[in-house]
Chain A
């Protein structure tokens, strides 16, 4: 069990010495806790989420020999024998770190259900509220010494399935800190992408002594009230305040400020919300955050919408999206590698499903869960391979079909986690990290 404050401790702290005491007192409590904790160094995970369902044929499984492939050409990569789409020239150069899974095969072709499935590893059914992958993995991978929340989500597009982005039965302590990119700068020509957690600074009108006094007053109120009126929303309230105060008091929030990064490196990531979001992900991972999700939804790199949902003008649309994806993705892999972080950081690239191999009347591709691609890199993943394959027309998985459950199990294994470890669900049933019967795919792991 790794969590900041477990249920039993919580009872102790509903006295909320935690919340109320001055910053130093509060931090020392945490520090004392951290001291007793396991010092095992956990791996980290970055999820690059392609909202809308990216076309496999214009990314990692081109079919230029077949009419279904359309005009998309393939190019060589740094690994002999593996070719990917011409839309991803920089990514091709880091292929030796990537394991492309070309045999994803699921049955969910609806945005909402598929988004939920890929984010939780479970189909939406019955009363069980499954946690999103960032929640259950960050719980396992928690670094107690990190003052930031263990799960950060950058520019998420949650409209397809809000529940796919929440902590489910794990509860509010495992909710993501959601950050949105902003454009800031002196004038319209000099706009920069920046990330800021709003309201982190206390008001100028309030002195530090006053702020401490306020927290003490609040603590006394919380103590009296929650003792008599126990319940989930009260616990959540206190936990969020604790995490918020911890962030306010910590220097770790400097991770959100990209200004200290090398200008050239910022350029290589791409000066757009997704590119800078990938850079932010690296900085957060360095600071001790366990799981970062970065969403790419449209061609300007921002989070809104579902740009990969290319029912029309697929080739042009995917081309522009890849123009954003390619430098960011390749730079992230290279940057992590150069800093010695790639060995312990898993980078997952995926969306909710693939696109129909057959091109429709609007030069588009529709939803296709039957044979599509995802990509793993870093941590325990054996790079430089294409796992599974599809038929020449792209309509069938030819060998080694991959289920979502096995993908999830493989992700767990790559992070040195036992995929059969369980959490107790809201209906009192133990739920394994990846569904019953799933197995990690050994050949994907080194």
Chain B
């Protein structure tokens, strides 16, 4: 805590009046800023979420899965006042949250590994590296610095996939300076330079020269010409010249030097530093106007389904933040905490804004950029499968301590493939017909909703002395992380006691579980 205070003082002296230390104080200031914005926009925010709604969303956002039945029960029955922040602490300490942040960061840093099959093999090694760094509590700036400056193991060939390293960041970009420049700008700074590669950016301030100035930091890489073009992920015999500080713009006579995006020239007086080290120093510098903002914006989106700048990696004049002061405040907090992701998570989850219900009570809440209600949003494929697994009691043959084990035929791998989505924004996530069919009729859900094969259902059906009412409650807790409403208790209770369409209480349980698992409420975050 002393460390945080120290950082805060530095920032306060420099740029800002606001540099709170305790998360709840910053959270209160964020809430005040939203209050002002809502009044200005004549927005009536939604009610505060009840405990069950809050807990489910918190688990999905922070742990990447819905809570287990026992976790919901414990939370609902807990009468202590600080149980919400207590739940946050519990989850921040859990392997689930390390895994969820690992997946989220991997998706953001090497998106190519999802879309291009030849890069898939790089996922385990990259995730193992991220996992290790995140679980050790390494600050975000160090992680990013380590990625940009990593010593590449490119000669590892086929063994690369089992090498714990951040090399995948380079390999999915085929070690091309131009790809690395746009990847670095987009992933860490939220700046889209891609268009400036070929011409001055039509809607933004970036010029083609500036693009290549960035690329020049990566200009030392060269690959032999006879490299296996079909399999760029397996690069052999790559070499790197660590004193290359200029680059030739292809198709022109122009040679441009390495210059930072802000126009600042690197100071090469310490020539023990490689261009990549110089770039990394600048990227993670607390004075960098983009780095911290981009990071907290992505975190914000993880909890709200939408960034304060949205799309999250598109900071530009034409795409201003919806709540600039909130973004600035969070960025300052992030810097002053020493780039501690958990600190920002504590702040965000402590806000009333985050704790709003998804239930819409006023038309003004419909516009997602107001953040006036919890938006209805799709799950990532990973959140989806891990939640299904939790609900149906499926034991995942996946060892969280050994992510190298990837079985492409496992139910998880097959569901991830089927539920992979082209849409970037979770608020626009779409269900496909094939997904609907897999949920309604596929083997996995069929087994999961059969009393003979499902862990969850059998436990409920055969638990001695459980009343229909208790059975129903357990099913709702397992799938929807809440108790049934009085109305549902009656409607579904009647179905259960009558034995339903099959006139058989076990079949009726199975029918109800099927309906719960196929519902929007189960398959979406809200």
A interface list, Cβ under 8 A from B: 125-127, 149, 158-159, 162-163, 165-167, 171-172, 175, 177-178, 197-203, 205-207, 209-210, 212-214, 217-218, 220-222, 224-226, 228-234, 236-241, 243-245, 247-248, 304, 311-312, 426
Chain B, 495-526, CB within 8 A of any chain A CB? 495, 500-502, 507, 511-512, 514-516, 518-521, 523-524, 526
Is B366 an interface residue, CB under 8 A from the partner? yes
Q: Give the docked Cα–Cα distance between A246 and B188 (Å).
A: 45
B430 touches A234 (CB 8 A): no
Instruction: Give the Cβ gap from B372 to chain A, nearest Cβ, in Å.
Output: 13
Residue in A126, A199, A221, A230 whose CB lies within 8 Å of B437: A199
Complex CA–CA separation, A335 to B366 (angstroms): 51
Give the complex CA separation of A175 and B431 in angstroms: 9
Whether the Cβ atoms of B311 and A127 lie closer than 8 Å is yes
Judging by beta carbons under 8 Å apart, are A222 and B519 in contact? yes
Contact B441 A214 (CB under 8 A): no
Between A and B, 6 residue pairs with Cβ closer than 8 Å are: A159-B117, A178-B434, A207-B501, A217-B511, A233-B376, A234-B376
B residues with CB within 8 A of A: 115-117, 195, 202-203, 229, 311, 314, 318-319, 358-360, 366, 375-378, 422-423, 426-438, 440-442, 446, 450, 487-488, 491-492, 495, 500-502, 507, 511-512, 514-516, 518-521, 523-524, 526
Give min CB distance, B110 to chain A, whole Å: 14
Among B438, B516, B520, the residue within 8 A (CB) of A198 is: B438
Least Cβ–Cβ distance between B172 and chain A, in angstroms: 12
- Which residues of the other chain, B, contact A236 by a CB distance below 8 angstroms? 429-431
Is the Cβ of B436 less than 8 Å from the Cβ of A225? no
Please report the C-alpha to C-alpha distance between residue A175 and residue B318 in the assembled complex, in whole angstroms: 29
CA distance A240 to B433 in the complex (A): 5
Complex Cα distance, B442 from A199, in Å, reads: 5
Most buried by B among A175, A222, A225: A225
Give the residues in chain B near A159, CB-CB below 8 Å. Answer: 115-117
Residues of A within 8 A of B423 (CB): 166
The 4 A-B residue pairs whose C-beta atoms are closest, nearest first, are A231-B376, A172-B430, A217-B515, A213-B501
Bound CA span A102–B315, Å: 41
Measured between beta carbons, the chain B residues less than 8 angstroms from A237 are 431, 436, 520, 523-524
B526 touches which one: A202, A207, A229 (CB < 8 A)? A229
Output the nearest chain A residue to B514 by Cβ-Cβ distance: A214
Q: Indicate if the CB atoms of B202 and A125 lie closer than 8 Å.
A: yes
Q: How many A-B residue pairs have CB under 8 A?
A: 170
Tell me, in angstroms, the Cα distance from A419 to B379 when the chains sit together: 37
Chain B hits for A225, CB < 8 A: 519-521
Output the least CB separation between B512 and chain A (Å): 6
Among A165, A221, A228, contact of B359 (Cβ-Cβ < 8 Å): A228
Tell whether, in the assembled complex, residue A162 and residue B523 are in contact, meaning their CB atoms are under 8 Å apart. Answer: no
Give Cα A67 to B337, complex, Å: 67
The reply to whether B520 and A234 contact each other, CB–CB distance below 8 Å, is yes
CA distance A159 to B120 in the complex (A): 12
- CB distance B377 to A218 under 8 Å? no
**Among B358, B502, B520, B524, which residue has the most Cβ atoms of chain A within 10 A?**
B520
Given known pairs A175-B430, A200-B441, A203-B441, the reply for A230 and B521 (CB within 8 Å) is no
Across-interface contacts of A239 in B (CB, < 8 A): 431
Whether the Cβ atoms of A210 and B500 lie closer than 8 Å is: yes
Docked CA distance A201–B422 (Å): 27
* Closest chain B CB from A189 CB (angstroms): 25
Chain A residues with CB below 8 A from B116, complex form: 159
Asked whether A228 and B434 contact (CB < 8 A) given A159-B117, A209-B502, the answer is no
Q: Are A163 and B422 also in contact (CB < 8 A) when A125-B203, A236-B429 are? A: yes
Given contact pairs A198-B437, A236-B429, A229 touches B359 in the complex (Cβ within 8 A): yes
> Other CB < 8 Å A-B pairs besides A178-B434, A214-B501, A220-B491, 11 of them?
A127-B311, A159-B115, A199-B438, A205-B450, A213-B500, A214-B515, A228-B359, A229-B526, A230-B376, A244-B440, A312-B229
